[in-house]
Amino acid sequence: MERVVVQDFLAMEPLRDAVLVGGAAGLGAPVADIALVEPDDVLGAPIPPDSGVVFAVTSGRGPSRRRHLVDVLLRRTHACRARALFVWDGGGWDGGGWDGGGEMASATRRLADRLALPLIQVSDGVTPLELATTLRTATFSPRMAQSATLLELNRLLRSANRSLPGMLRAVARVLDAEVGACTAQGVLVAGGPPATAVEEIVAVRAVTTLVTATGAVAVLPVLGPSGTPTLWITAERDRVGPRWRETAERALALTHGELSAWLTRERIQAERDARLRSTLLTEILDHKDALPGHIAEQATMAGWQLTGWHTGIHIAVVGAAGAPAPPTETLADAIVRAGLDIGPLVQRTDGWSAWLTSPKAPLPARTHAVAQALETVLAALGPHLPGRALVAGIGTPASNVEGIATTLAEARQAAVAASAGTPGTVRRVEDLGASRLLLGWYTSRAFHDYARRLLAPLLDPAERNLFVTLETYIDQACSTGRTARALGVHRNTVAQRVARAERLLGMPLTHPDSRLALQLAARVLRVNPGEEEPPRP
């Protein structure tokens, strides 16, 4: 550990409420010793070089002799090449100077600034001797102080209930810092929100400290079961030096094992809950109005509303294969923040399904408002999903248990239609018009299997460009020029790729039925890819 600097002292408990009067330019100076100076010995007390000086200003005999002592000692401290002056102000100075905790004269502040000598005013709370002893221990035995902090943290972690809030409170206590935990999407999981930008925090891949304008934030990425960072722990504090930063990094590293264990437990519980929700939804969709009593009871216990008017929502994931989708909890939290009081959010093979319930049939204006709120949610999550995009569909309201299956099927169809638009598109099934006649068929498992067989020659990763070009070419009304502009390639390249795709598929694009079949097949594989996923431009 390097030598303690003046700023390190400001992070210590006795100086937590101390006031930096002036001389901020010298906060980075290293300190090698601590000297205690009494008011009666301002001119004669030894002041070693590179030392911090503790001055008990209120312990002298009379107020008339003390008005100028701080200025005198400032000049002498600077002449002795000392590094800082700690003025212990316990109150009681009544002769025209400052009272306990009062402000020092502006001339004194200007002198400290001019000398670049930190002048730190310490209020009552410890005696001058106790303050000097604490500073001297920190100066000569910084490793000992750091070890004491880490041992205390270890004790607190062992005695805590191993919940995330409990562990964060332990870290906050030993570091005297604001501590929080957030996800990659910037969602606050526990603790307080960091003042540092979330983008800077989630970019960290190993425990480190970011220096801010007023202090520092120590960041710990917690690895999930997949071996990638899932949670970021932050410990933020102002007025800290390198010693606190090093201690904070060591303290956070000490908690990584417990945090990883907590994360694994939470993931197992989330997967168990997800399987339960998926099973319940499957039973509801299969049985509809003939729902067994024990299934209805389980759904009620889970907080699901089965009676009333339901408006189905389906959120689909489209994009590059292998890119991460947002966790269900992150999506649910974003939906709640948007003001949507949805019921269960059930993860399915191609996304998530949910429904809104009301006692009466909602007016069209209500589904419009739901669509707008969903667009807000998807737009907010979009920047955090590189290589992926979210789209959504909304079904028409339907009543009671059998209505849940109906409105969710429509919502899924509308999500498929939305996949042809830009990322974040939300479509209502009632706005789809005649295309609804096709949606019910080509979202079926039978058509999905047919689509995979039809496009099999283009699903090989080596034929990525052919698939992308063919899909874009059909969407652009078979215009070579528009396709070339959309893909940023030459017209001749488009023509060559289309010709090769026709040869591999054995289907000429001059026939309208062939174009329609290929367009629908590409679209359904985009939203519900199964084991393999077609490439994306």
Mean pLDDT value of segment 441-446: 56
List, for residues 173-208, the tens digit of each pLDDT value.
Answer: 999 899 999 887 677 888 888 888 888 998 999 999
Residue 336: name the closest of 187, 230, 193 by CA.
Answer: 187
The CA-CA-CA angle for residues 405, 406, 409, to 5°, reads: 80
* Distance separating alpha carbons of residues 464 and 472, to the nearest angstrom: 12
pLDDT at 388: 74
Mean pLDDT value of segment 256-284: 85
* Distance separating alpha carbons of residues 183 and 111, to the nearest angstrom: 47
Q: Check pLDDT > 70 for residue 262.
A: yes
Q: Check pLDDT > 60 for residue 530.
A: no
pLDDT at 49: 93
pLDDT at 282: 86
Mean pLDDT value of segment 128-157: 88
Question: Mind listing the domains of the chain with CATH numbers?
Answer: 6-140 (3.40.1390.20), 143-265 (3.30.450.40), 305-437 (3.30.70.270), 445-527 (1.10.10.2840)
Query: What is the band of 532 on the pLDDT scale with cuts at 50, 70, 90?
Result: very low
Query: What is the band of 337 on the pLDDT scale with cuts at 50, 70, 90?
Result: confident
Q: Check pLDDT > 60 for residue 324.
A: no
* Distance separating alpha carbons of residues 301 and 292, to the nearest angstrom: 14
Query: What is the rounded end-to-end Cα distance, in angstroms, of the chain?
Result: 51
Q: How many angstroms separate the most distant Cα atoms in the chain?
A: 107
pLDDT at 146: 86
Query: What is the model's pTM?
Result: 0.59
List, for residues 465-517, the tens digit of each pLDDT value.
Answer: 888 888 888 888 888 898 998 888 999 999 999 888 888 888 778 878 778 77
Q: Check pLDDT > 60 for residue 423.
A: yes
List, for residues 68-97, the tens digit of each pLDDT value.
Answer: 788 889 999 999 999 999 998 765 434 344
Q: Check pLDDT > 80 for residue 99.
A: no
Residue 201: name the closest of 216, 221, 176 by CA.
Answer: 221
SS3 label, residue 442: helix
CB contact at 8 A, 342 and 356: yes
* Distance separating alpha carbons of residues 326 and 185, to the nearest angstrom: 8
Average pLDDT of the chain to the nearest whole number: 82
Mean pLDDT value of segment 25-43: 89
pLDDT at 100: 46
pLDDT at 74: 92
Share of residues in the chain with pLDDT > 90 (%): 23
Q: Which amino acid is at 521?
A: A
pLDDT at 445: 61
Strand pairing category for 229-238 and 51-56: unpaired
| Tokens encoding 79 | 């002449």
Q: Check pLDDT > 50 for residue 27.
A: yes
SS3 label, residue 187: coil
* Distance separating alpha carbons of residues 521 and 450, to the nearest angstrom: 8
Q: Sheet holding 119-122: strands in order across?
A: 19-22, 119-122, 84-88, 51-56, 33-37
pLDDT at 217: 94
CB contact at 8 A, 4 and 246: no
pLDDT at 53: 93
Higher-pLDDT residue of 446, 226: 226
The CA-CA-CA angle for residues 262, 265, 268, to 5°, reads: 150
pLDDT at 1: 53
Q: Check pLDDT > 70 for residue 345.
A: yes
pLDDT at 534: 46
List, for residues 427-438, the tens digit of each pLDDT value.
Answer: 888 877 655 545
| Beta carbons within 8 Å of 178's beta carbon, 6+ residues apart | 172, 191, 192, 194, 235, 236, 237
Q: Check pLDDT > 90 for residue 220.
A: yes
List, for residues 273-295, the tens digit of each pLDDT value.
Answer: 888 888 888 888 887 667 888 88
Residue 139 CB coordination number (10 Å): 21
* Distance separating alpha carbons of residues 54 and 84, to the nearest angstrom: 9
Q: Which contacts (CB < 8 Å, 24+ apart) does range 262-270 have?
A: 262/162, 262/163, 262/164, 262/167, 263/222, 263/224, 263/225, 263/230, 263/231, 264/224, 264/225, 267/224, 267/225, 270/327, 270/328, 270/329
SS3 label, residue 370: helix
pLDDT at 61: 43
List, for residues 349-377, the tens digit of each pLDDT value.
Answer: 778 999 988 888 888 888 888 888 898 88
| Tokens encoding 368 | 């419009």
SS3 label, residue 71: helix
The H or E element containing residue 522 is helix 512-527
Q: Which amino acid is at 374?
A: L
SS3 label, residue 285: helix
Query: What is the band of 455 on the pLDDT scale with cuts at 50, 70, 90?
Result: confident
Q: Check pLDDT > 50 for residue 172.
A: yes
Q: Check pLDDT > 50 for residue 65.
A: no
Query: What is the band of 64 on the pLDDT scale with cuts at 50, 70, 90?
Result: very low
